[in-house]
């Protein structure tokens, strides 16, 4: 990019594309998760149809990250994506060492934006780590993590996005290259052995107590001083206790700053 104005134009357009803000009026159909009578189901299957809800697109919900998009590559909303942008600008300005990582990437939108940011500023000494099972959330391990009891997100096909699809999404933006590193598998299996030396931004989107605690336990000691720990789903009853327990166990007193209805972050000091 030639100048700051062009960089800002590119990154703003990238946000709009990732959040599907430009074409929001076309996101009017969402899968209908309803019981279907057997005869109707047979008819739907035979004619290759899909049962959907018709909904009115809601720009405010998209801004706050309160909807589950049909087409968009991210569900975190404008406020959380803006905060990620500011965090990246800050770690570059403050010369905070390390890579960027997201644990729990869905369709890859946040990581795509991270890579776009590095490319816009011609930064070649940082990687973007894309960590996910690429097959949805784990079923709750209630015996070990009782706070996850009753969670049913693991049953949602909507949250299962394959590694191939995420790579295809990176390719759509011409942002799939050797600065994008994929960690495929459950966090407990991949993160402890991930070949990451330093982290400037750790964006954690695991929803569950188990996934959040696995991410914090494996990555926090690699976060550089001045780096960001961003919790996408802080207010969830499965996620917040994990954050609070981890912070208490490690005597973390840095202020936890809210972003929107769900998200929060702190900087490591």
Quick: pLDDT tens for 60-82.
999 999 988 989 999 999 999 99
Q: Are residues 154 and 209 in the same domain?
A: yes
Q: Are residues 142 and 176 in the same domain?
A: yes
The domain total for the chain is 2
Residue of 200, 44, 35 whose CA lies nearest to 126 = 200
Q: Are residues 258 and 237 in the same domain?
A: yes
Task: Say if 9 falls within a structural domain.
Answer: no
Is-contact 226 91, C-beta < 8 A?
A: yes
Task: Say if 14 falls within a structural domain.
Answer: no
Task: Say if 10 falls within a structural domain.
Answer: no
Quick: pLDDT tens for 142-190.
999 999 999 999 999 899 999 999 999 999 999 999 999 999 999 999 9
Query: Which structural domain range is residue 116 located in?
Result: 77-267
Q: Are residues 53 and 161 in the same domain?
A: no
Q: Average pLDDT in the 23-41 region?
A: 83
pLDDT at residue 2, as a whole number: 63
pLDDT exceeds cutoff 60 at 245: yes
Task: Say if 6 falls within a structural domain.
Answer: no
Task: Say if 57 falls within a structural domain.
Answer: yes
**For residue 163, what are the contacts with CB-CB under 8 A and spacing of at least 6?**
132, 134, 182, 184
Quick: pLDDT tens for 101-122.
999 999 999 999 999 999 999 9
Q: Average pLDDT in the 220-243 region?
A: 98
Cα gap 151→140, rounded to integer Å: 7
**For residue 63, what are the contacts with CB-CB under 8 A and spacing of at least 6?**
77, 78, 79
Task: Say if 232 falls within a structural domain.
Answer: yes
pLDDT at residue 186, as a whole number: 98
Q: Are residues 59 and 183 in the same domain?
A: no
Q: Are residues 197 and 231 in the same domain?
A: yes
**For residue 54, what are the contacts with CB-CB under 8 A and spacing of at least 6?**
28, 29
Tell me the β-bridge partners of 228: 201, 267
Q: Are residues 134 and 163 in the same domain?
A: yes
Give the distance, in angstroms, between the CA of residue 132 and the centroid of all CA atoms in the same chain.
Answer: 10
Task: Say if 71 falls within a structural domain.
Answer: no
Task: Say if 2 falls within a structural domain.
Answer: no
Q: What is the domain-level CATH number for residue 166?
A: 3.40.50.150
């Amino acid at each position: 990019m030639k100048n700051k104005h062009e960089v800002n134009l590119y990154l703003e357009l990238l946000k709009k594309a990732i959040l599907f803000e430009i074409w929001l009026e076309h996101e009017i159909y969402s899968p209908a998760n309803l019981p279907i009578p057997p005869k109707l189901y047979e008819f739907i299957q035979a004619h290759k149809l899909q049962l959907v809800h018709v909904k009115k697109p809601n720009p405010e919900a998209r801004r706050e990250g309160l909807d589950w998009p049909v087409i968009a590559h991210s569900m975190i909303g404008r406020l959380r994506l803006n905060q990620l942008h500011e965090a990246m600008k800050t770690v570059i300005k403050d010369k905070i060492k390390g890579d960027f990582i997201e644990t729990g990437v869905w369709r890859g939108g946040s990581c795509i934006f991270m890579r776009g940011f590095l490319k816009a500023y011609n930064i070649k000494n940082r990687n973007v780590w894309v960590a996910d099972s690429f097959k949805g959330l784990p079923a709750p391990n209630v015996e070990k993590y009782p706070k996850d009891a009753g969670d049913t997100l693991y049953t949602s096909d909507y949250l299962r996005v394959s590694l191939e699809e995420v790579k295809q999404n990176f390719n759509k933006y011409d942002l799939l290259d050797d600065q994008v590193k994929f960690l495929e598998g459950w966090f407990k299996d991949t993160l402890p052995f991930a070949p990451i030396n330093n982290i400037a931004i750790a964006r954690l989107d695991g929803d569950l107590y188990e996934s959040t605690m696995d991410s914090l336990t494996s990555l926090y000691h690699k976060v550089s001083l001045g780096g960001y720990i961003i919790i996408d789903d802080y207010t969830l009853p499965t996620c917040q206790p994990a954050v609070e327990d981890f912070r208490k166990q490690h005597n973390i007193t840095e202020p936890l700053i809210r972003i929107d209805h769900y998200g929060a972050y702190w900087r490591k000091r």
